[in-house]
A and B are shown apart, each in its own frame.
Chain A
Amino acid sequence: MRISRNNKSIDKPSQVEVDLSRIDKLIQKYKGKKGNMIPLLQGAQEIFGFLPRKVFEKISLETGLELSEMYGVATFYAQFRMAPVGRHIIKVCHGTACHVQNAKEISEALEEALKIKDGETTRDRFFTLESVACLGCCSLAPVMMIGGQAYGKLTGNESVKIVKTIRIAESN
């Protein structure tokens, strides 16, 4: 049933303002190509950080892809997001190796420190907390990844410290 690991409810029509011209090039590149739906959605998400409703509508209008099919694909794959995310996405691994080495502690510590639940974004839009299945660094379990950088052999306290350091470094 593809229960998504992140929030998949789409924004209301007027909720999000986006500059739609930013995807013109992308549409040009993939229009009419076979198998273009996933690259289009991936490209749009790359630009906006998530997939706003208006982007679906524009892609559908200009390429002829069905809205229902696009929504089907976007909700099927874990990668696609329908809600804006924070500047940093914290991916806490809950793969097998991390699970048996107490990944839960990391998530719980971060949830408490950031005052958000799994899948949510802090109010200042700084961090989004996500759980993922295996980052491929199992030998360093438990692991989390922030912006492509993996941090291994964590404890709850250490993970909180790392996140705090990032916040301090960037708010100066």
Chain B
Amino acid sequence: MTKTTVTVGLGSCGIAAGASKTFQKIKDLKETENIDFELRKTSCIGMCYREPLVEIVDETGTYLYGDINEDRAIEVIEKHINQHDPIREYIVYTDLFDAPENYFIESQVKIVLRNCGYIDPESIEEYEARKGYNAIREIGENKISREAVIQTVLDSGIRGRGGGGFPTGMKWKFANANKSPEKYVICNADEGDPGAFMDRSVLEGDPHSVLEGMIIAGYAIEATQGVIYCRAEYPLAITRLNIAIQQAHQKGYLGVNIFGIEGFNFDIYIKEGAGAFVCGEETALIASIEGERGMPRKRPPFPASSGLWKNPTNINNVETFANIPWIMINGAAAYAVYGTEKSKGTKVFALAGKVKNSGLVEVPMGVTINDVIFRLGGGIKQDKKFKAVQLGGPSGGCIPEYLSDTIVDYDSVNATGAIMGSGGMVVMDETTCMVDVAKFFLDFTRKESCGKCTFCRMGTMRMLEILERITNGKGAEDDLSKLEELAYQIKDNSLCGLGQTAPNPVLTTIKYFRDEYEAHIFHKKCPAKVCRPLLTYTVDEEKCTGCMVCLKNCPAKAITGERKKLHYIDQEICTKCGVCFSKCKFESIVLS
């Protein structure tokens, strides 16, 4: 009889939802009542909207329980383990019958996330039990040449997952062609797109797959040192990477003559980022590792010829590396089965925003945005109306609802004016103001611009000023043409990708939501009711109970009225701060 296992998902998202308490509760129960099962930890399985998650595998099958707080944990252990009576109502996925999230699990193709949510990320043995380190071991045992490794990566068609989409095999080929006694492999784990968390989940859930990918790259280009540049906002990822590196050392997977390959000496260390979005750009990232301000440098020379400490360097994204061992084991052809003509394989998306099932999904390239948002994502929260989806973060754009049958691959997404980016998908509904979203991103890029190029530094500031004017109800007739003119100037005259793409959120929202801009500029109205200065606050006569809460809290003293009598807001005095709206318990303040 197989032993029953109980596994708790302890990724950052799970912990934030209370999974540590759930784990502790189950542990206490197991110990105090001496119940016989194996208690395991794993990381994020992607179903963040159902955290905390507890999986039970017994001789009858697999059961995944969702939303398991401490109380429910007691219930589940009592009923399922002690009485062998699974609680159907809490089960979100199982291989035995139809459960609410079966589709979510079964319709994904997990290559990058093959181990996330299945293994204990702090155990190298569990990684190895799922073919971990087999790829590099086979390379060593079968004496596969560097060129053959690079050819496999080329044949798979994989393109860089950090946003640019440059063919990974080509990059390796260039780096391999440049000879030098010192060469570097860098893993870009800076994940700067605010609203994306794919890389974090991979690092937390399966750190060894990234290490193995880096080791293979190190072999392929004859590198001596690997560096993981990880953002400091991801403490758990850093902890688990450190554990993984230490374990790899103990097993001799890092160090000298590794995997029996004579002369292959390779080690990896972690460099913590210090908080600057632009450091995700490869040349800025290199400057940052060198201890300087993270300012991009001119390319060429590309890192492949002159990178870290002026040595040939290959930089790839976390997700790119995590794909590599799978490709090596299963072959290039198996990978290229998935995807479209020019975008092969799968892509992990971080679904967030106004979508019901927010979490991580991995789908083959070529599925439609609709599929991701409505089939996997379960549609829009509170069944509101879907308006747009933001792809590519500050460098990307908003794709409107009527283009939601666009397929996700590099070229189709680019055609809309957005970019594929690293995989953040923030869903927006009718209550999101697109002008406000554009302003949000521009405020971000303006703050994050390193200041080197005038157009990026000053241009984004000027654009932001115009957007602020518009959202404050002071927009002028020619503001849209000014925005567009500035946008093209910035795109043309900036050195790095940050400036070259910073105007994209504005350009795509003007392209697809021009009417919303015009409502702000000409009618001084915000259709989504977000831009406060454009709203009027009035009291609903039916609902107001005369409780005086709004009156007492109004900083401008614009509200008059007596206890138990209808209140009144003086529009002349009202500063539209919104305090009354958030304080009223009876929803009697109306926005229009």
Interface residues on chain B, size class: 35 or more
Q: Given A78-B275, A97-B353, A35–B447 Cβ distance below 8 Å?
A: no
Residues of A close to B448: CB separation below 8 A: 2
Residues on A with beta carbons closer than 8 Å to the beta carbon of B461:
1
Q: Is A5 an interface residue (CB 8 A)?
A: yes
Provide the bound-state CA to CA distance between A148 and B15, in Å. Answer: 11
B290/A77 in contact, CB under 8 A: no
In the complex, the answer to whether B197 meets A77 with C-beta atoms within 8 Å is no
Known: A78-B276, A96-B424, A100-B432. A143 touches B393 (CB 8 A): no
Chain A residues 127 to 160 lying within 8 A of chain B, measured CB to CB, are 132-141, 143, 148-152, 156
CB-nearest residue of chain B relative to A135?
B233
Partner of B582, one of A39, A150, A156: A156
Is A56 on the interface with B (CB-CB < 8 A)?
no
Q: Contact: B293 with A132, CB < 8 Å?
A: no
Contacting residue for A140 out of B48, B289, B290, B450, CB 8 A: B48
B235 touches A148 (CB 8 A): yes
With CB as the reference atom, state the residue of chain A lying closest to B197. A136
Residues A42 and B272 in contact, CB atoms below 8 Å apart: yes
**Complex: chain A residue closest to B381, CB-CB:** A101
Interface centre among A2, A36, A97 (most CB of B within 10 A): A97
* B48 A2 Cβ-Cβ under 8 A: no
CB distance from B570 to the nearest CB of A (A): 22
Whether the Cβ atoms of A101 and B447 lie closer than 8 Å is no
Give the residues in chain A near B200, CB-CB below 8 Å: 136
Does residue B17 face the partner (Cβ distance < 8 Å to A)? yes
Q: Could you tell me which residues of chain B, from 1 to 35, have a CB within 8 Å of some CB in chain A?
A: 12-13, 15-17
| Known A-B contacts A97-B195, A136-B191, A151-B16; A77 and B233 likewise in contact (beta carbons under 8 Å) | no
Q: Is the CB of A99 within 8 A of B274?
A: no
Q: Judge whether A3 is part of the interface by a CB distance below 8 angstroms.
A: yes
A61 lies within 8 A of chain B by Cβ: no
B contacts with A: majority SS: mixed
Residues of A40-61 at the interface with B, using a CB-CB cut-off of 8 Å, are 41-42
Nearest Cβ on chain B to A107's Cβ, whole angstroms: 12
A133 adjacent to B444 (CB under 8 Å): yes
- Residue B358 CB within 8 A of the other chain: yes
Find A100's partner among B232, B277, B437 (CB 8 Å cutoff).
B437
Contact B354 A136 (CB under 8 A): no
Given contacts A77-B294, A150-B12, A150-B16, contact A138 B195 (CB under 8 A): yes
B-chain residues with CB within 8 Å of residue A94 when the two chains form the complex: 194
Q: Is B260's CB within 8 Å of the partner chain A?
A: no
B291 contacts the other chain (CB 8 A)? yes
Q: Which residues of A are found within 8 Å of B444, using beta-carbon distances? A: 133
B residues near A101, Cβ cutoff 8 Å: 353-354
Does A20 count as interface, using CB distance less than 8 angstroms?
Answer: no
Residues of A within 8 A of B292 (CB): 37, 69, 73
Q: Are A2 and B276 in contact (CB-based, < 8 A)? A: yes
Min CB distance A96 to B, Å, is 3
| Most A-side CB within 10 Å, residue of B191, B235, B352 | B352
Asked if B497 is at the interface of the complex by the 8 Å CB criterion, the answer is: no
Q: Please, which residues of chain B bring their CB within 8 A of the CB of A149?
A: 15-16
Contact with A along B264-295 (1 / 0, CB 8 A): 00000000111111000000000011111110
Known contacts A2-B449, A79-B275, A148-B235; A100/B353 CB under 8 A: yes
Using Cβ atoms and an 8 Å threshold, which residues of chain B touch A148?
Answer: 235
In the complex, A143→B51 CA distance in Å?
15
Which residues of the other chain, A, contact B49 by a CB distance below 8 angstroms?
A: 139
Say yes or no: is B390 at the interface (Cβ < 8 Å to chain A).
yes
User: In the complex, what residues of A have CB within 8 A of residue B194's CB?
Assistant: 94-97, 133-134
Shortest beta-carbon distance from B399 to chain A in Å = 14
> Max chain A CB contacts within 10 Å: which of B277, B353, B440?
B353
Residues of chain A lying within 8 A (CB to CB) of residue B358 = 97, 138-139, 141
Question: Are B48 and A3 closer than 8 Å at their CB atoms?
Answer: no
Our pick among A78, A96, A141, A143 for the contact of B390 (Cβ within 8 Å) is: A96
Chain B proximity of A26: nearest CB distance (Å): 14
- 1/0 contact string of B533-565 vs chain A (CB within 8 Å): 000000000000000000000000000000000
| Those of B344-377 within 8 Å (CB) of chain A | 350-354, 358-359
**Residues 433-452 of chain B, each 1 if its beta carbon lies under 8 Å from chain A, else 0:** 00001001100101111110
Within the complex, which residue of A2, A42, A78, A95 is in contact with B195, where a contact is CB–CB below 8 Å?
A: A95
Are A105 and B352 interface neighbours, CB within 8 A? no
User: How many Å from the CB of A21 to the closest CB on chain B?
Assistant: 24
CB nearest neighbor in A for B350:
A138
Residues of B within 8 A of A132 (CB): 233
Q: What is the distance, in angstroms, from B344's C-beta to the closest C-beta of chain A? A: 27
Contact A152 B17 (CB under 8 A): yes
Instruction: Tell me the complex Cα distance, A77–B295, Å.
Output: 11
The answer on a CB contact under 8 Å between B12 and A139 is no
Which B residues between 514 and 542 are near A, CB-CB below 8 angstroms? none
In the assembled complex, the Cα of A141 lies from the Cα of B451 at a distance in Å of 31
Does B114 interact with chain A (Cβ within 8 Å)?
no
Which B residues touch A36, using CB under 8 A?
291
Q: Which parts of B38-67 form the interface with A (CB within 8 Å)?
A: 48-49, 51
Given contacts A2-B450, A134-B196, contact A35 B294 (CB under 8 A): no
Residues of B within 8 A of A99 (CB): 437, 440
**Bound complex: CA A148 to CA B16 (Å):** 10
Residues in B with CB closer than 8 Å to A64 are none
* A138-B290 contact, Cβ under 8 Å, with A1-B457, A97-B352: no
For window 407-448 of B, CB contacts with A under 8 Å fall at 424, 426, 428, 432, 437, 440-441, 444, 446-448
Which A residues from 84 to 110 make CB contacts under 8 A with B? 94-97, 99-101, 105, 108
Residues from chain A with a CB closer than 8 A to the CB of B426 are: 96-97, 100, 138
Known: A100-B428, A138-B358. 20 other contacts (CB 8 A): A2-B449, A3-B446, A39-B291, A42-B274, A77-B276, A78-B275, A96-B194, A97-B195, A101-B354, A136-B197, A137-B12, A137-B13, A137-B48, A138-B350, A138-B352, A138-B426, A141-B352, A141-B353, A141-B358, A152-B16
| A-B residue pairs, 6 tightest by C-beta | A96-B195, A95-B194, A78-B275, A139-B48, A77-B274, A134-B194
Q: Could you give 19 example pairs across A and B, Cβ below 8 Å?
A: A1-B457, A3-B447, A38-B288, A77-B294, A79-B274, A79-B275, A96-B194, A96-B352, A96-B441, A97-B353, A100-B428, A108-B582, A136-B233, A137-B48, A139-B351, A139-B358, A140-B16, A141-B358, A150-B16
